[in-house]
Homo-oligomer: A and B are copies of this chain.
């Protein structure tokens, strides 16, 4: 429809219908239109986070594995897309007849209900995020094929259940009902728990099952952990930050009915948490190591963003700053803890997504304001402990946190152990040594050898 001259017509009439539509019909049409623009544009921003994860993971690992890790990040979205179409969305939100149960959805497999298209697009982008978190923790030694099989399970099965529990009105953890299991139910506005803890838990389990990289704890650790390309890593964090403006504000899903103001608030709290985390990490790393540690600072930014994701709609800006600052300190401690436990997580996926995700879930029970819950979820029944709202919301958060962790750890454990037993999870020692780019893909990611660096710029820029 509607190119060129048609478009001009359509844009200057209210709708392109033959008969004049009623005011109510036009209002309904405009409401759908504005909400769809918001839903799709924010979904596209969330999809963009795939590129951010790819670059962060690529930049912070070694050059000989770059192509492999980048492609894992792209392919998990692709495998995940097909599985989320086949089963994932159905398990999360599907309705057979009038109602689903508290444990799983039960209809709309293969996206049979066309009224779900906008919602599917948005939820697919979230599913892809949960899946892609894992690749970083298992980088530089996991088989391409084994990783892709795992991503089918998390996108099509493990993650959708958690979504149903927390974000479907019929889920047992849901906050979107008049009859929640406790207080206001489990509140997780954009998914510190639902998305990041799921990804981070699977990342932890995967890193344990696949084992540490050669040399990580039994050789020259610094040679193993040197980032190969900080420019990629920093750009990746900028991309993720931008994508988070789809992730968090977009989780209003609608901007009518007063939710435009919620979206604006979420943009502010998201921004301030990231800012506070970065500044905290600057001080922290300088005081502890004498250097402004770029890896820690970047992970702190991501940790701050993960931390504010659950409470972005229900906490005030000052609390967002506190949440971000605490996340920034969680990150280095968690890195040290993994170091002591000899768990090898090359890019810090577990500290950022599991630990800061858990912190974000708890922070909802500590810092949420009564008015914040009222506006975003309806009549608050209990709110932040630190603000005098009692402990009940915190307990609800702990229950949700425990359920998400236990479910994901159990199922991803079965999944990784099964893959390891059946087909092997890890590349050969020789392949790990020469790099997965050569071993799995038959080529190298970089070749600058055609440049003659002896030659200096030939033009005289002063002659311009």
Please state if A457 and B36 are interface contacts (CB–CB under 8 Å): no
Asked if A449 and B321 make an inter-chain contact with CB atoms under 8 angstroms apart, the answer reads no
- What sequence of 0s and 1s flags, for each residue 22-38 of chain A, a beta carbon within 8 Å of any chain B beta carbon? 01101111111111111
A229: contacting residue among B54, B176, B231, CB under 8 A: B231
A239 interface hit (Cβ, 8 Å) = yes
Say yes or no for A157: interface residue by CB 8 A criterion.
no
Q: Is the CB of A231 within 8 A of B58?
A: yes
By the criterion CB–CB under 8 Å, are A121 and B271 in contact?
yes
Cα separation A17 to B464 with both chains bound (whole Å): 51
> A79–B259 Cα gap in the complex (Å)?
29
Q: Which residues of A324-379 have CB atoms within 8 Å of chain B's CB atoms?
A: 332, 335-336, 339, 376-378
- Stretch from A195-203, A204-212, A280-288, A404-412 forming part of the interface with B: A280-288
CB-based contact A169/B11 at 8 Å:
no
Chain B neighbourhood of A242, CB < 8 A = 44, 47-48, 51
Cα–Cα distance between A85 and B275 once the two chains are bound (Å): 11
Q: Are B445 and A229 in contact (CB under 8 A)?
A: yes
Interface membership of A172, Cβ < 8 A: no
Residue on B with the closest CB to A284? B464
Q: Select the stretch in A248-256, A387-395, A413-421 that faces chain B.
A: A248-256
User: In this assembly, does A67 line the interface, its C-beta being within 8 Å of a C-beta of chain B?
Assistant: yes
> A198: shortest Cβ distance to chain B, in Å?
16
Complex interface residues of chain A between 233 and 268 (CB less than 8 A to chain B): 234-235, 237-239, 241-242, 245, 249, 251-265, 267-268
Q: In the bound complex, what is the Cα–Cα distance between A264 and B115 (angstroms)?
A: 9
- Distance of A339 Cα from B288 Cα, bound (Å): 41
Which among B31, B170, B222 is the interface contact of A457 at CB below 8 angstroms?
B222
Cβ contacts A69-90/B at 8 Å (1 or 0 each): 0110011011111100100000
Interfacial chain B residues near A222, Cβ < 8 Å: 456-457
In the complex, A97 has a CB within 8 A of chain B: no
- For A144, the chain B residues whose CB sits under 8 A away are 292
Q: Once bound together, how far apart are the Cα atoms of A50 and B275, in whole Å?
A: 13
Q: How far is the CA of A224 from the CA of B292 in the complex (A)?
A: 25
